[in-house]
Structure 1
């Protein structure tokens, strides 16, 4: 019980640190509140954000409903991919339980999950985030022309510096040779589809390369293929036939070799279990056909 409270408190504290500059409301459970009551004063000050007005949203047509369920799922994946906040902290902040979250993320369609608490909680989070960004832009616009130009120049230089570094990284990755690659350029894959999706989200979330540059690095893969792969239901083989799965695996394997990264325990277990051929490159949605024989006595 004590460990559960500590984990909840840590998640709340992390979310509080992230939201200290956003002005959003922090939704936390009663156990965490009791624990935080004994924390240093500065922590309490961080958690206590300005409360939202009861009239924040239109009762009949709340502003956050402008996004459908698929759009919210994409927003969640992209946001968590930036590593700005952990999934645990995000769920705590949005007052979403993990079971509801996983059910929602595995659904499909624009209306798949509209009654799930994840949809409303996440949509409100992104609405408030967007609202704050608009305020920031308005403040920037209100600056004197000279100050506004200076700030814009600084941001542009920082972005250019990042992209330049990213382009150099892509070139170095391209030059790496994968030991397991055969004469036809095929490589046994030892990361499942979910692992590759996580790696893509994290890499693009770092914003050191554009999505277009990443797709070119995969071999001029179509953006629709990437979108389709990333939006598939969770599952080890969900999307294995998609070209992104194989090419992204090779990309991240080269990146690991370039950076001198060690193979994880999960990776080594996959190698032992899958053998020299690796994971099968065919889609597996987890469903199975069951053939039932005809009862001749009927």
Structure 2
């Protein structure tokens, strides 16, 4: 508290008198008190923003001098754990590190400590997490405990949230499986311990990103009851299940089958199997 010229602290009456004098002078000059208070608030805000900006610049400069000590696989695990925790969605994270979906997908679908070392996503994501660490924000941990009823399914199905296929954001992933192939995959998948039809329907519905939809059990039954390479090609189940199983293949690090490679060779010119209108015939592999 300010002291008087005599070295004594001013009394309450003296402080009130001094405050009243200041207010009277402001009133005489036509200056409203609210304007003075706003100026003080603005100066405080500007100071705070400047401090934050300086701190961010200091961190960026510090990161420039740091070697990357985490492997590509370690960075991929950080990304998946971060997204699993719900801190950001995939698209939001891509914007945060200034990358695009194609570059991000190419990095995330690789496997190996040095696979993707030349990708900008590797460097940008590492800097993103290192900066948070320097700011005192803990690194993401993959320790989300599943609910009891879903423990068996969680144990058998890997996380797919960080995998994005080319064309997925536009609901335009190219398909290189027949309808019969997808039906076989569905039948095998639903026999796995802990996997339920309700959860599978939610999983394949999540394949639609641009125009979200709900897939009913009747649609699944109708698709599964058909027979033929292209019978059911325009079903939402066909597209949704293909995207789901393709992500599953990538997550499980399984190679493409010989038939799949041949399907790509045959149908790549037309952008994959047609899903826009019902079809009856397909070019057979090996003909």
Q: By the TM > 0.5 criterion, same fold?
A: no
More helix by share: 1
TM-score, normalised with respect to structure 2: 0.41
Q: Which has the higher contact order (CA 8 A, sep 6+)?
A: 1
State which structure, 1 or 2, has the greater radius of gyration over its C-alpha atoms.
2
TM-score, normalised with respect to structure 1: 0.39
